[in-house]
Amino acid sequence: MVLVAILLGTLAAGIGSVWLAALLSFGVLARYTQHMLSLAAGALLGTAFMHLLPEAFESEVSPDQLFATLLVGVVFFFLLDKAELWHHGHEHHSPAEARPGHGHDAHEPGHSHSHDQAAGGWAILAGDSVHAFGDGILIASAFMADMRLGFVASLAVLVHEVPHHMGDLIVLRRQSANNRRIAFVKVSLAGAVTALGGIVGYALVEQLIGYLPFFLIFAASSFMYVALADLIPQLQKRATLQETAAQVAWLAIGIGLVMLVSRLAHAH
């Protein structure tokens, strides 16, 4: 009975939050496509700095270990990004095309654009999966302590993941040639890892609970990397005062949504 409750709670939290995020991102907020990158950057930064990092540093793990994990995570996602771009480039160029004079120079606008579209996707999905796995362990431990506590934990995870998944969907839709369905499926699959975390947590909760701070830090490193290395640079273009003010406003909205929802979730 407890395992069934864990599966239902983790699936509702992991996938339900993606569905709500898609409803908002592709429905209510779809008209604001020009500002969605700012919102995504704010949501990812807010999730990392206002939710994941504080929870990790509340643990008994030493700050030195957590900062080392953060550094390793950022470097790992940088290397993953480079590998993704390298693979993407080899898919589009033969050895002959790579030589000068064949019309496909590395600085060709279309080529650079395709590289930009490929960047950051794996980092988002890897970070989402690790985060979801950690959420599944938390939900499983809550259900094993008390069924009512498990229900509250599932609801809290569902609610506080919505703003973050909105950012994920926006980023992945941009990298999938504006294909909403592909972005939705990718984020949903990452969210489904919550159920895997719940099953593993049910079997090994005592052994895994001590590693949760490292899961949180690793997930935070992916969101920080994507926001600072991929999204923010795209906003660092010459713009009018009105456009700049709109960018800052939507960035603040993304951060504020995560802060508000996280506080409400923790309060309940």
For the CA atoms of the chain, what is the radius of gyration? 19
State CA 112 to chain mean position distance: 24
Rounded mean pLDDT of the chain?
78
Enter the pTM of the model.
0.66
- SS3 string, 117-131, reads HHCCHHHHHHHHHHH
Domain spans of the chain, in order of start:
2-93+107-267
pLDDT tens for each residue of 138-169: 888 888 877 887 887 788 788 778 877 887 88
Higher pLDDT pick, 27 / 78: 78
Distance CA 252, CA 3 (A): 40
Which one has a higher pLDDT value, 45 or 35? Answer: 45
pLDDT value of position 103 = 43
Look-up of token digits 């080899």:
90
CB neighbour burial string for 80-112, b if at least 16 within 10 angstroms, e if fewer: bbeebeeebeeeeeeeeeeeeeeebeeeeeebe
pLDDT in tens, 209-220: 788 888 888 888
The model's pLDDT over 51-109, given as tens digits with 9 standing for 90+, comes to 888 888 988 899 999 999 999 999 988 887 777 656 445 444 444 444 444 444 434 44
**Interval 173-180 mean pLDDT:** 76
Average pLDDT over residues 14-22: 88
Q: How confident is the model at residue 195 (pLDDT cuts 50, 70, 90)?
A: very high
pLDDT of residue 63: 93
Range of weakest confidence among 32-41, 45-54, 105-114 = 105-114
Query: In the prediction, which pLDDT does 68 show?
Result: 95
78, 229 Cβ separation under 8 angstroms: yes
CB 158 within 8 A of CB 169: no
Out of 184-198, 217-231, 243-257, least confident range: 217-231
Both tokens of residue 61?
């793990």
Higher-pLDDT residue of 11 and 257 is: 11
